[in-house]
Structures are given as structure tokens and as C-alpha cells.
Amino acid sequence: MHAQLALRAERCNEVRLQPEGEYVLYWMQSTHRFEENWALRFAVLEADRLNRPLLIHQGLDPTYPHANDRIHSFVLENARALARRAESLGYTYQFVVRCRRDDDRRVVDRLAARACLVVTDRFPTCGIAERTARFAARAPCRVVAVESYTVVPAAHFGKSEFAARTIRPKLAKLIEGALEPVEDRAPRRAFADSLASGLDVERLAIGACDDAAIAHEVARCEIDHAVPPVARTYFTSGLDAARARLHHFCAGALVDYEQRRSDPTDAEGSSRLSPYLHFGQISAAEVARAVRDAGPAASAEKYLDQLITWRELAFNFCVRDARHAQLRGLPDWVHRTMEQHKDDPREAHYTLRELEEGRTHDALWNAAQHELRTTGVIHNVVRMLWGKSVMQWTNRYKTALDHLLLLNDKWALDGRDPASVGGIQWCFGKFDRPWFNKPVWGTMRPMSLARAYDKWDAAGYVRQWTPENGPR
């Protein structure tokens, strides 16, 4: 077994492997790709070792947090591409949609009843870790979760890392080995049609769906239809679109990444790959290799610091600290300062609804919220300001945190990710150090919406993202 696989795989129950099972099941939850998918690699190896075929199963149901048209459409469109590619790559892939909350929940259970073992993705947010743990506790066979999110296997870091500066040198020592390409291959034994038709599962022929059929499928699901899909001009789902964007970025903006990433009016100044990385449509290792090879070295290093150091720091936090989405996940100095400043008068008070609709007194903040609602992301520079401002406008720090998590996870195409949690908690001092003491901020790093106008073209950004001006 490849050394990385041993580090990435984790047993989820003590149940034995069932050698009389008919197949190995890979339950695809967070890594929606066939390439550089460590869980799939593990499942292929096990299938070959047991001389069994492999079934890849992906399901979509209405019970995940903030289930809505935006997320459903992105997942379905990628599933269509997977279904169309599977056969030529030698995989058997099936996709099942559960539309209603009270529809049959136990598809994976039924599939597991006939499996030797179940392999799935290891992912600490989106409710996936909890769902996997519940399933593993009742599964009749061994369940193994394998992590494909990081470039460097997260198991190298046994404890919660304190800050970027503590994890960065450790990652630097491991990165070259982790980036060595590993060849993907299909399982040796084919999954017989007779076996597939004998499974008691209602598959969606997603490979044959056109856009209208996907829209119809989304419309009949019991999900939040008030969050619409993102227009394809912003994000088109799938590996092909992700690769096109990666290569365009490497050939263009990468060379000036350090400067261009700080200009929120520059639509192509950063890679805009976060939704693809979130859904696992492209592997971070593939992105890292392309950037490293395209160079120049200083730009590549800056980019890889975001993609690897900051992203994997966030993953480490979510995996190692069960309190990652709560104020309790913040360092002691933050708690001390929050306690001292909890009753400081706030600049304004906004309800969740006012924030969600972008109806604050601040045009720049409202523009950021409008960018989020329209495109499914906010530019990084503005996202920091967007996140930092909310504690000034709610009477409790906890309310600010809860509102931000909700707004980000509901509207962002890259939301519900470890990087979402890491980014939002950073606004409250996670991975940071104490600054000078100020009202409400306490010793948390302050950030000013007003001062943004001196640093970059905030007026231009507001013009671009104010609803009456329409989307760009």
C-alpha cells in the first residue's frame, strides 16, 4: 500500500471485513472526482485484493445543512460529468437522489449489507463526519474513511496547530514527497450488469440528463428554492471547468498573484478555484503541481501558501478540535478580551435578515453580501472585511459568529468547508495574535470598512456589486 494511503485511511468501526460480500462499496461523499481520489484508490486496492468488483455510489438528499438549489445544481451537474466519464475509465458509478425528507433513507445501508467493506471520504464539516460515524455504528461490515482534502496527509499533524507559522515549516518538509504523482487505475474485476440490476436501488440516469432535466430534478427536491443556482458565467460545475480555470490562471494572473490577489475589482486576479476544491471536483495536489510548474517561484510560493498552508491549517483545526464552529474553539486570550468587551456599545444593530439582504448602513459591506448572493463567493480581501464587521453590529460575539457561519454556508458555493470555518474563526482571532485594545474589538485584529477606500478601489467594487447597478 502507498505510504500516503496508510496515513489517510482511518477505520470507523470494529466490524470485520465480510469476505463473502459481493463487492467493495465506495460511498462518495465529499470527493466528487475519480482522479487523485485517495478513497477511490483505497477502494480499488481492496477490491483487487479481495477479487471483487467495485461500486461507486453517490447520493444526494435534502437533509444536508442549508440544502438549496445552488448546491444541488452544482452537485448534479458534476455528477452528470462523472457518469459520462465513468465507463471509459473502467468504473461503475451510480447516482441516487432522495427528493423528500421522508423518502427512503437507507440506500447506503442496503448496499452495505451486500458489501465486503465500505470505503468513504473523511471530511470534518458539512455534517459528513457525523453521518459517517452514525452509519459506521450500524454497518454490518468494516467502514474505512479516507481523507483526500489535503496535499500533505493530515495525519502528520497529531494535534491542533496553533497558527500558520507553526504548520508552515512542517508542511515544507513534507510537500515534495506528497506532490509526487501517483497513477490511478480502475479495479480489475468489472461490475456485472446482473449484479447492478439486482440491487434494490432507484438510480437517476444522470448521464442522460440535459440541463432542463437537472433543473426539473432540483425543482422537485424538498430544499430551499430561494437560493438560486449561480450563473455559469461565474462557475460551471465539473473538472473540465476547474482545469480550464487553473490553466488560464497559470498562464495569466499567477505571475502577478501577490499584487493582483489584493484587488477585488480584478475578477481574474486569483484562481477562483475554491468551489471546485470544496466539492473535491479537482484535487489540491493537481492544482499545486500546475502552479509550481508554471511559476515564477515567488508567485507560486505565495499561491501555495494559501492553497496548502492556510487551507490545511483550517482542515487540521476542524479535524482536531470538535469545537471548531463555536466560540469555544478560540484561544484563551480571545475569551478574556471578549469577556471585557461584551457589553461595549455597538455601532449599529442588524438582524440576520437585514444582513442577509445586504441592508446595512455600509455600502461596501452590502456590496460584498450582494457578490456572495450573486456569484457564490466573495473576493478574499473583501471577505475578511465582511467577516470582521459583523461583531460591530450584533450585541453578542456568539450571535456574530452564528450569523456569519449561516450566511457563508447558505450562500457560498465554497461554503461548509474547513476553509469557511477557518476564515470565519480567523475574524475572531483564531490563528492570530492579540493587537491593541479597542472598544468591541478588544485585542482582536481590527479592520475598517472605511479605510478600505484608501487601500484599493472600494468605490469601484461598490459600483460593481450594488444591486441597482446589476451584476457585472
Min dist CB 292 to ligand FAD, Å, is: 13
Residue with cell 457560498: 412
Least distance between ligand FAD and beta carbon 90 (Å): 30
Question: Nearest residue by C-beta to ligand FAD?
Answer: 423
- Under the binding rule (CB under 6 A), the answer on residue 426 touching ligand FAD is yes
* x-marked contacts with ligand FAD along 250-279 as a string, rule CB under 6 A: -----------x--------xxxxx--xx-
Matching residue, cell 475578477: 267
> Sign of dihedral through CA atoms 386, 391, 397, 400?
negative
**Identity of the amino acid at 122:** R
Instruction: Say if CB 311 and CB 419 are below 8 A apart.
Output: yes
Q: How far apart are CA 27 and CA 56, in angstroms?
A: 6
Give the integer Cα–Cα distance in Å for 187 and 92. 10
CA distance 466 to 45: 52
Q: Which residue's CB is nearer to ligand FAD, number 18 or number 160?
A: 160
Per-residue mark of binding to ligand FAD, 336-375 (x: CB under 6 A): ----------------------------------------
3-state class (DSSP) for residue 106? coil
Q: Are 415 and 408 in contact (CB under 8 A)?
A: yes
Rounded to 10 deg, the angle between the 297-304 and 284-294 helix axes is 160
What does the CA dihedral 347, 349, 352, 357 come to, rounded to 10 degrees?
Answer: -70
**Secondary structure of residue 32 in the 3-state scheme:** coil
- Terminal-residue alpha carbon distance, the chain: 50
280, 414 in Cβ contact below 8 A? no
Q: What is the DSSP string of 116-131?
A: EEEEEE--SSTTHHHH
Give the per-residue contact string, 376-395, with ligand FAD (x = CB under 6 A; - = no).
----x--xx--x--------
68, 265, 337, 420: which one binds ligand FAD (CB under 6 A): 420
Q: Candidates 414, 440, 449, 452: give the one binding ligand FAD (CB under 6 A).
A: 414
| Minimum CB distance to ligand FAD, residue 144 (Å) | 26
How many residues in total does the chain contain? 472
Q: Which is nearer to ligand FAD, 129 or 424 (CB)?
A: 424
Q: How many residues bind ligand FAD (CB under 6 A)?
A: 29
Side by side, the strands of the sheet bearing 142-146 are 9-11, 142-146, 115-121, 23-28, 54-60, 93-97
| 106: amino acid identity, one letter | R
Interaction between residue 408 and ligand FAD (CB under 6 A): yes
Residue among 186, 290, 424, 449 that touches ligand FAD (CB under 6 A) = 424
Of 13 and 148, the one with the shorter C-beta distance to ligand FAD is 148
Question: Quick one: 306 or 326, whose CB is closer to ligand FAD?
Answer: 306
Q: Nearest approach, Cβ of 425 to ligand FAD (angstroms)?
A: 9
* The three three-digit cell numbers of residue 284, written as one number: 489540491
* Shortest CB 378 distance to ligand FAD, Å: 7
Output 107 or 367, the one with its CB closest to ligand FAD: 367
Helices (H), ranges, 52-105: 69-89
Q: Is 314 in the site for ligand FAD (CB under 6 A)?
A: yes
| 281 versus 420: smaller Cβ distance to ligand FAD | 420
Q: Alpha-carbon distance 94 to 92, whole Å?
A: 7
Q: Which of the ranges 27-35, 172-180, 237-245, 414-422 carries the binding residues for ligand FAD, by CB under 6 A?
A: 414-422
76 binding ligand FAD? (CB under 6 A): no
User: For ligand FAD, which is the closer residue by CB, 42 or 441?
Assistant: 441
Residue range at the interface with ligand FAD (CB under 6 A); choices 3-11, 202-210, 368-376, 406-414: 406-414
Single out the residue of 310, 365, 461, 465 in contact with ligand FAD (rule: CB under 6 A).
310
Question: Exactly one of 153, 415, 429, 442 binds ligand FAD (CB under 6 A); which one?
Answer: 415
Q: What SS3 class is residue 101?
A: coil
C-alpha cell at 47: 477490491
Residues 6+ apart with CB under 8 A from 143: 11, 12, 13, 15, 112, 117, 118, 119, 120, 132, 135, 136
CB neighbour burial string for 39-60, b if at least 16 within 10 angstroms, e if fewer: bbbbbbbbbbebebbbbbbbbb
Build a one-symbol-per-residue string for 153-192: x at contacts with ligand FAD by CB under 6 A, - elsewhere.
Answer: ----------------------------------------
Closer residue to ligand FAD (CB): 85 or 122: 122
Question: Residue 375 CB, nearest distance to ligand FAD (Å)?
Answer: 11
Alpha carbon 181 to its chain's center: 23
Q: Is 425 in the site for ligand FAD (CB under 6 A)?
A: no
Would you say 9 or 368 has its CB closer to ligand FAD? Answer: 368
**CB nearer to ligand FAD: pick between 26 and 365:** 365
Contact residues toward ligand FAD (CB under 6 A) are: 261, 270-274, 277-278, 306-307, 310-311, 314, 380, 383-384, 387, 408, 412, 414-415, 417, 419-420, 422-424, 426-427
